Structure formats: C-alpha cells, structure tokens
Amino acid sequence: MDVLDARKKTGKGRKVGSTVTKRLLTGIARCGNCGSGLASAIYQRSTPSYQRYGYYYLCRVAGGGCGKLSRSGPPVDDYVQEILLSHLKTQARDVTPAKPEGPELEAAKAKLRQIESDKVEARRLRASDELSLSEFAREVRRLEDKEQEVKELASLLSVTPARAGSVAARIVREWDSYTVDMRRAEIARSMEAVVISKAGKGGAQRGRFRPELLEIVWR
Ligand SMILES: [Zn+2]
C-alpha cells in the first residue's frame, strides 16, 4: 500500500493518481541479472524511443532489483505472444490422453467384455438348441441394449483427452479479442517466467530485437 501511495504522490512515469500500468509481461518478465520481476515505464516523451515503442520494461532498484536492465516493451510482448500461440497450437493438435483412465472407465470396459462373452454363450446355447429362437432373440436384445448403455457411459467417461486440446484451440481463436488481463492470465498459466538477459558488451545495437536474449521458462 505504501508503494502504491508513493506512486500516486510522485506520479513518476505515469499520470499522477494512476496506478494502473500493468503491461502484458509486468512481473512475468524477469531480470536475467538479478531475477527480479520487471516493472514497466513510459519512455520520455519527444524521444525516438517513445515514438517507436512507447514503453519499456525495467529492473527497478526501488522494487528490490539491480536496476541494470531495461528493454523496449512491444517487441518482447509480440515475441512472447507468438511463442505462446504456437505452443497452444501444438497443444490443440495433441490428442494423447491428458490423464490415465479412471476406475469407472475400467469398470465400464470390463462390463463390455462380459456382455461380449454373454453373447458368445447365448449363440452357443442357441446352436445346441438349449435356447429357443424367441428366447435367443430376447437374450440378444437384452445384451445389446445393455451394451449400448455401457458404451454411452464409457464415451462420457473418456471425453477428457480432447478437452485440453479444445481449450487451447479456443484460446488461439479468441486471442485477438482478449484483454491484457486475460492474456496475462494465459501467459502465466503456461509460463513460469520470461527471463530477459542483458545485451552484454557491444550488444546494444539500436533498434534490433534479439530473441536469443529471452528465455522462456515453461511451467
Ligand atoms: Zn535486475
């Protein structure tokens, strides 16, 4: 609360009174130098960086960080979203079961095997004339009704595999209409952090985005 109050008073880097500057990767992006969660700030107006990028991420001493790292915001945001969406697209295609079969599904499958062997037995009894044709027909009908019922139950129990994939497909489809908060939530669900490293000696080429300085830590 003290930190928020201080921001309201100074208005540093934002309109006085405003504390709402959560960018896409605020707190998710981390400083590769000290590990602190990065904050965001607006470039000084009238600078080329302001014109081009608007905002940037930074490691803040006031936030407990080393204060030695900053990076233009939009290229990082674009890159991370691109990576996440391609990750989700892969998930959407994946149809392998998300979890092992539960005991109910096991039981349903055992029942189906039992019904199958009852049908074999009924056919055997009919072949040896121990069942009349009408008795045989009734028995087969009973077994087939039962089989239908158990199959429906089994298909209800095994819908889970496709679910993770369809959720991922929906997120990809609707991403453009998501708010920043919704996007942040989805990123945080898949990614533990996005670690941003310093460019190092001679690495500070102006205006060139370097994805190799970003490391995605998946959950
Ligand atoms: Zn730092």
**Beta strands 191-196 and 29-31, pairing class:** parallel
From the CA of 41, how far away is ligand 1's center (Å)? 15
73, with CB counted inside 10 A (0-12, 13-18, 19+), is buried
pTM of the complete model: 0.61
Instruction: Count the domains in the chain.
Output: 2
Q: Are residue 126 and residue 84 in the same domain, yes or no?
A: no
Same domain as 151, residue 46: no
Kindly give the distance from the C-alpha atom of residue 93 to the centroid of ligand 1, in angstroms, as a whole number: 38
Q: How far is the CA of 178 from the centre of ligand 1 (A)?
A: 30
The residues that bridge with 216 in the sheet, in sequence order, are: 194
Alpha carbons 109 and 157: distance in angstroms, whole number: 11
**Span 142-169, pLDDT tens digits:** 999 999 888 888 877 765 555 678 889 9
The pLDDT tens digits of the residues spanning 101-126 come to: 778 888 888 999 999 999 999 989 98
Name the 3-class secondary structure at 79: helix
Do residues 79 and 186 both lie within one domain?
yes
Cα–Cα distance measured from residue 103 to residue 158, given in angstroms and rounded to the nearest whole number: 11
Domain hosting 192: range is 2-93+178-218
172 domain residue, yes or no: no
Q: Which residues surround ligand 1, an ion (CB under 5 A)?
A: 31, 33-34, 36, 59, 65-66
